[in-house]
Structure 1
């Protein structure tokens, strides 16, 4: 885990991303998605670190998907350090962020509360 990369503005885990080894994160001018990313644009306009810092209930951009939406809710409830701690623990226990392409164990959920419980415990509820 590259903890120093932290969390993207949309809530995705840059710290675990294997999509681009040279990625410096969405907070840099080098972000390859900066032209189209609604979450990056909106959070910059609001002057906040990311969607997880916003008070609004929103499903804009990537937040219309369970994983980024659930990650944001987790951070809002428990804080970014707890989120990073859980991701790091889960990775050490074999939970994979990107298994094939950009799909991994955190993508196996249709229910946001089940995803949040999985992040917290590392155990899939049956």
Structure 2
């Protein structure tokens, strides 16, 4: 049985779990939190400006209705990787980041996929 390591900073602002990223594990990516090169990311910028750990902490909007969340880059990412980051944000809102980390670690995924559902 593998012990889950809870590095809350490995949950990206947008709902990705970077702890399962091979680039991060190889030391080739620092994640988005301190990555100044990620200034292009509207989601990251919005969360940093508003002092939010992730979009799950936003009381203003649902990521499915947020223009900063549903941008061209995010839409392309979702299409290419069949990801459902809004479902990940919903899961984090409902269960918290620790539970999301456990789920992603167990599933060996970085994000909830389209069509995949968890209670």
Smaller-chain TM-score bracket: 0.5 to 0.7
TM-score (norm 1): 0.64
Which digits, 9 at most, give the CA deviation of each residue in 1:1-60, with x for residues without a partner?
Answer: 8753521111111111125531111110x354x121010000011111111111121332
Q: Greater RCO between the two (CA within 8 Å, min separation 6)?
A: 2
Indicate which of 37, 56, 63 corresponds to 2:41.
Answer: 37
| Alpha carbons of structure 1 residues 23 and 8: separation in structure 2 relative to 1, 3 Å | same
How many pairs are equivalent?
100
- Partner of residue 16, structure 1: 20
Indicate which of 51, 54, 57 corresponds to 2:62.
Answer: 57
The runs of 5 or more residues in structure 2 that have no matched partner are none
The runs of 5 or more residues in structure 1 that have no matched partner are 92-96, 99-104, 121-126
Please tell me the root mean square deviation across aligned C-alpha atoms, in Å. Answer: 2.7
- Partner of residue 92, structure 2: 75
